[in-house]
């Protein structure tokens, strides 16, 4: 997920360059509770192999220190011959062990809402210190990832994990955070969006369910400034509502 499709890797200086930005971006302002946001949306873009992709981004429009103009969440919707899928993602600030501890706790405290997660193993795709691994592990993930894989004991070595869940895959990457983006309203005013996205990212498949929005709000990088309930509501809405034409 890191870097985002088409990221040029260069900072913005002077005129906005077409190769580093999305063009013809639409925007919509709204308020959720006491929090103001701008949702920016690209046109449908053709992708290799057929089909299209549309990128959307929520920016903070509330006058909050260190938050104004910063991205709160991203989404990508893919339309192909096999159907439509939407993925929602944002930067988090968890280390591997605390991330999986919090994920385990989230599932345990909501166990009645997730009967499909009981007594089963989950397919996980991992990148561990540059090595790709496919494993099947039961919950709790904080115990079984990756401690039972080739006797590895350093959970901090996990760089990326995707877990196949019945209601949609969950993906998370770990590592040093990227420099925070500048005020992105500088782009939006010119109907563009920087192709750069932050890292490390957490994301989930929101095509059929947004049940992970609550967990998402707990690990979100801005959850000390934005109330988790507002983050949760915003993420649920963001996953399913397009800007009117």
With cut-offs at 50, 70 and 90, classify the pLDDT of residue 156.
low
Tens digits of residue pLDDT in 29-46 = 999 888 999 999 999 999
Closest CA to 62 of 42, 41, 33, 26: 33
Residues near 98 by Cβ (< 8 Å), separated by ≥ 6? none
Residues near 60 by Cβ (< 8 Å), separated by ≥ 6? 35, 36, 37, 67, 68, 69, 70, 72, 222, 226
More confidently predicted of 19 and 48: 48
- Average pLDDT on 69-75 reads 93
| Cα–Cα distance, 168 to 225 (Å, whole number) | 28
Tens digits of residue pLDDT in 198-231 = 999 999 999 888 889 899 999 999 999 988 888 8
With cut-offs at 50, 70 and 90, classify the pLDDT of residue 153.
low
What is the model's pTM? 0.85
| Cα–Cα distance, 163 to 134 (Å, whole number) | 10
**For residue 243, pLDDT beyond 80:** no
With cut-offs at 50, 70 and 90, classify the pLDDT of residue 16.
very low
């Amino acid at each position: 997920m890191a870097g985002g499709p088409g990221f040029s890797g260069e900072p913005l200086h002077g005129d906005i360059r077409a190769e580093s930005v999305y063009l013809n971006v639409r925007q919509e302002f709204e308020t959720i509770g006491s929090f103001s946001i701008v949702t920016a949306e690209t046109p449908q873009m053709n992708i290799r192999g057929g089909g299209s992709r549309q990128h959307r981004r929520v920016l903070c429009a509330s006058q909050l220190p260190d938050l104004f103009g910063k991205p709160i969440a991203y989404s990508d919707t893919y339309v192909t011959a096999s159907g439509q899928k939407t993925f929602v993602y944002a930067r988090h600030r968890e280390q591997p062990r605390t991330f999986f501890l919090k994920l385990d706790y989230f599932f345990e405290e909501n166990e009645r809402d997730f009967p499909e997660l009981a007594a089963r193993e989950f397919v996980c795709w991992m990148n561990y210190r540059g090595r790709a691994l496919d494993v099947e592990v039961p919950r709790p993930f904080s115990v079984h990832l990756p401690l039972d894989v080739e006797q590895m004991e350093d959970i901090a070595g996990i760089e990326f994990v995707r877990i196949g869940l019945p209601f949609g895959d969950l993906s998370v990457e770990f590592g040093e955070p990227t420099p925070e983006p500048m005020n992105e309203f500088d782009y939006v005013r010119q109907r563009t969006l920087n192709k750069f996205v932050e890292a490390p990212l957490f994301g989930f498949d929101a095509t059929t369910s947004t049940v992970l929005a609550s967990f998402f709000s707990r690990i979100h990088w801005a959850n000390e400034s934005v109330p988790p309930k507002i983050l949760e509501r915003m993420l649920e809405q963001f996953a399913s509502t397009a800007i009117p034409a």
